[in-house]
Amino acid sequence: MHNEQLATFEQTIGYQFKNRALLLQALTHSSYANEFDQTLENNERLEFLGDAVLELCVSQELYLRFPEEREGVLTCLRAQLVSEAALADTARSLGVQKYLLLGKGEENQGGRERDSILCDVLESVFGAIFLDGGFSRVNELILNLLSPKWPKSGKFKKNKDFKSRLQEITQKFFSDRPRYTLRNSFGPEHEKIYAVQLSLPNGQQYHAEAGSVKKAEQLAAQKALSDLKNTGPSS
């Protein structure tokens, strides 16, 4: 990717990198590195970091915006703001898909428009900005990018996802939250499948597989909700 393209992307997101190699890494999917240049670092490690940075930034802002709300409400609001679909929508609004480096196989599978990939690359960009400019700068950028999506009150609870709904139930009945563990991943890079285990506070476990960790977690939570609806919580 040429420096001119990277510079255009920097203008779009409103941040100029001191170390532009971090931005290139954030935009490099593992399928591209595997197919074209294995010396390139892909964005998986940055995505891991960016996910944590994003959660902290959003958590802090919700904590400050809604001082009267309880943890359960704040958790639901955060889940909506950082959901895969919401982040993919933000990525598309920035045109991230135009700058993403993908392998041919992933490209042919429609990866450039896939929610999971767009979500991950946006989180990778957040991780890169954190390393390049520090927490204050990435926090400012995240709050600005998410500004159209910020709830105006803690009563904003529409369209809760399965994980959010399950956490509300486990907090209510067990005073604890569900735990998600990545148990395995398999398949080629452009079609990798992730296996997730969900453990409820009462010891019940559920398993799910999907093309991203986030989707697998949602599927596992959906299974748990269906089970709890039919049998009710048990200690």
- The catalytic residue positions are 51, 123
Q: How far apart, in whole angstroms, are the C-alpha atoms of residue 178 and residue 166?
A: 8
Q: Are 88 and 79 spatial neighbours (Cβ–Cβ below 8 Å)? A: no
User: What is the separation, in whole angstroms, between the first and last Cα of the chain?
Assistant: 55
Q: How far apart are CA 60 and CA 235, in angstroms?
A: 33
Question: In Å, how far are 47, 70, 154 from 163, measured between CA atoms?
Answer: 20, 17, 18
Q: In what order do the strands lie in the sheet with 179-186?
A: 179-186, 193-199, 205-210
Residue 44 burial by CB count (10 A; 0-12/13-18/19+): exposed, middle or buried? middle
- For the beta carbon of residue 61, count every other beta carbon within 10 angstroms: 18
Distances in whole angstroms, Cα of residue 76 to Cα of each of 62, 107, 141, 177: 11, 34, 22, 13
Q: Is 12 left (phi over 0), alpha (psi -120 to 50) or beta?
A: alpha
